[in-house]
Amino acid sequence: MEKQVRRSKKGRRSGVKRRKKIEPIYKRPELRSGLERRSGKDRRVQFSNPECGDDEIQEITDVLKSGWLTTASRCSMFEKDFAKFVGVKHALAVNSATSALHLGLDAVGIAEGDKVLVPTFTFTATAEVVRYMKADPVFVDCDLETFCITPTIIENILANDQSLITDNSLKAIIPVHFGGHACDMNSILELCKDNNLKIIEDAAHALPTKYNGRMIGTIGDITCFSFYANKTITTGEGGMLCTNDDNIARRVKIMRLHGINRDVWDRFSNGASWEYDIVAPGFKYNMPDINAAMGIHQLRKAELFQEKRQRIAEAYYESLRDIPGLILPKINCAMEDHSWYLFNVLIEPDKTLGGINRDEFINEMTRRNIGTSVHYKPIHRMTYYRERYELKPEMFPNAEWVYQRCVCLPIFSAMTDEEVDYVIQNIRELMLISFTSNAKTYI
């Protein structure tokens, strides 16, 4: 006779372990909305979304109605506001951070055959601009905790290849403030001063970021910012080059627009002369007023946007810190000094409850309609650089270790409380469950 299955009063099978509901850990009022969590079928959390308001829309509309769409008064206003915000003498708007880096290398005199120290754990733009100059990047490893370049890493490279200094081939360093965490700039400044090296800071992630009370953008010879669509502030596409050096600023201003000796707006404003001269073969890197109009109002919200990102980071730290195998970002600065452009976690498969690895985590988060990303696939793994410079993974053990485990969680100022809650809930469900197919034990 077939064994009868007893049922409880509510109709569930008795003796079968019920799934324990996982409640969100964080209870901070400003991060709670009181709304019920919706299912994954009708909820989607993007990896990043820009936050734009009526001020940006109105300013762009005014530009469109003005009849002057390219570089003019809005660009000049954006530059002045940005220089004041950062605390730097010159801020020069361009069409991307890549353009800013290229102009920076040109302005400090990088030439064919020169070498520039570049971290392998960064976006390709940091390296490709060196090749634009027909110079060669010298790739270096990253720190295991901050993912930034460190003074020790630089010292080791110089000690292992003293010819970089003795033959005067190494001319500059491009430190990347990874994810919004500032590099140890005081020590890097000392190293560069001792070895006569220029510093072009890649601050694409680092607005607003502070180092020892100073805003990033005021320290190196040149600092380059990005206003790409997913950055803390955005102009859609755009960048800014900052410097306190008058000669560098003069060179950049000329080279960003065809080598013309004066601004287009100056030539066509009331009473101006049409005459101009070409003093160098420049580039087409200027920022149009449409983009600058957006940047003016985005900049006014930069600190608010950072605060919102910081609150999300705090919620992640509070709610995910107890999960085995999930390594949260380690920072060597105050929370408020970090821009929180990225929240980059590491997944250690050997320490997770079910052995889930990074790629499985990404696939599962995608299935739950949660966007993630990997920042970055190291440059030494890219075909062009790997083959040209004979790069091997074992040359960059830290970057390799980080790359195989890293994944960025959604973090952006427009992210709602419910979206933060949804991400946390799903990570806890996923990471606190054995990932094997026959597992049914919930923690």
Question: What is the set of active-site residues?
Answer: 231
Please state, in angstroms and rounded to a whole number, the distance separating the CA atoms of residues 114 and 136.
Answer: 6
If you ran DSSP here, which 8-state letter would residue 349 be given? T
What's the CA angle centered on 123, arms 121 and 128, to 5 degrees? 110
Which residue from 240, 292, 241 is spatially nearest to 75, judged by alpha carbons?
292
Please state, in angstroms and rounded to a whole number, the distance separating the CA atoms of residues 409 and 343.
Answer: 6
Please state, in angstroms and rounded to a whole number, the distance separating the CA atoms of residues 386 and 442.
Answer: 44
C-beta of residue 276 within 8 angstroms of C-beta of residue 261: yes
Instruction: Give the H/E segment covering residue 294.
Output: helix 289-300
3-state secondary structure of 72: coil
Which residue from 71, 11, 318, 48 is spatially nearest to 205, judged by alpha carbons?
48
Please state, in angstroms and rounded to a whole number, the distance separating the CA atoms of residues 90 and 67.
Answer: 28
* φ/ψ bin of 16: left (φ > 0), alpha (ψ from -120 to 50), beta (otherwise): beta
C-beta of residue 410 within 8 angstroms of C-beta of residue 431: no
Residue 32's φ and ψ, nearest 5 degrees, are: -115, 145
Please state, in angstroms and rounded to a whole number, the distance separating the CA atoms of residues 202 and 199.
Answer: 9
Which residue from 340, 380, 329 is spatially nearest to 138, judged by alpha carbons?
380
CB contact burial 244-264 (16+ within 10 A = b; e otherwise): beeebbebbbbbbbbebebbb
What's the CA angle centered on 177, arms 152 and 213, to 5 degrees? 90
Which positions ≥6 away from 392 have C-beta within 8 Å? 380
